[in-house]
Amino acid sequence: MKKEVIIFGGGMGAIQAIEAIELMSRADPDFCTIIGLADDDPQRKGTKIAGYEVIGSLLEASQRPNTFFAWGLGNPTNPRLRLIISERLGIPDARFIAIIHPSVVVSRTARIDPGATVYANATIAPGAHIGCHSGVGIGSVVEHDCVLEAGSLLASGVLLAGHVTIAAGTFVGQGANIKGDVKIGAGCMVGMGAVVLNDVEDRDVVVGNPARVIKKMPAL
């Protein structure tokens, strides 16, 4: 029996999720069926986005039994948003599906956890681990043995060399390059186009080439 899925979010991220899931379902007709979207903006309730109805709030959707969920939202200024929502609603990770666009190249030794989103033309190399509720943007490369911890987000065109760790709730901006064996701490922000050559401490905001710290993110 196909899984019935509600997508969280009602903006452009939801459209991106819808299109990827539709393509996944064409490749595997038994994958899932999208039954609607959930969004906390009451003005969106009853409207349609890319042909699917916004059926109510995230809380209302979470209370539906036997339903699965997918992420159609993410916030670069608060990359922990997916973690916060899933914890607040008390939804087990196993009730989230992973979105893996059919054009993604995934090694057979890589691991992609529930709730992850991996979009078009990304590459997930051998031994890489994409954690729960994390995201890999269009065309990004996650090289061998990298780890994206829960809730971390890579924008489009990011390059992680081998053995990089991105800790929980960190955002890496478009086109950034991270040197091999570097660890980026939890709750960090890496600016667009940054070239990171050294480890980054928790909550640091880094920009430039080579990357430098410009401030700290607020404590959680």
Domain ranges of the chain: 3-73, 99-216
**Model confidence pLDDT, tens digit, residues 110-165:** 999 999 999 999 999 999 999 999 999 999 999 999 999 999 999 999 999 999 99
Report the chain's mean pLDDT, rounded to a whole number. Answer: 96
The pLDDT of residue 78: 84
Task: Identify the CATH homologous superfamily for domain 99-216.
Answer: Hexapeptide repeat proteins (2.160.10.10)
Q: Which fold has domain 3-73?
A: Rossmann fold (3.40.50)
The pLDDT of residue 219: 80
| Confidence label for 61 from pLDDT (cuts 50, 70 and 90) | very high
How does DSSP assign 7-74, residue by residue?
EE-SSHHHHHHHHHHHHHHHH-TTSEEEEEEE-S-GGGTT-EETTEEEEE-HHHHHTSTT-EEEE---
Nearest to 147 by CA among 174, 170, 176, 115: 170
CA dihedral angle for residue 94, residue 58, residue 83, residue 157, rounded to 10 degrees: 90
Greater pLDDT, 76 or 210:
210
Q: How far apart are CA 101 and CA 27, in angstroms?
A: 10
**Model confidence pLDDT, tens digit, residues 176-197:** 999 999 999 999 999 999 999 9
* pLDDT of 208 strictly over 80: yes
* pLDDT of 44 strictly over 90: yes
Which of the residues are catalytic?
144
Q: How far apart are CA 68 and CA 26, in angstroms?
A: 19
| Confidence label for 74 from pLDDT (cuts 50, 70 and 90) | confident
Percent above pLDDT 70 for the chain: 100
Q: Is the dihedral of CA 65, 24, 54, 115 positive or negative?
A: positive
| Confidence label for 218 from pLDDT (cuts 50, 70 and 90) | confident
* pLDDT of 209 strictly over 80: yes
* pLDDT of 220 strictly over 80: no
Nearest to 193 by CA among 156, 163, 146: 156
Dig out the tokens for 185 from the structure: 């701490």
4-10 average pLDDT score: 96
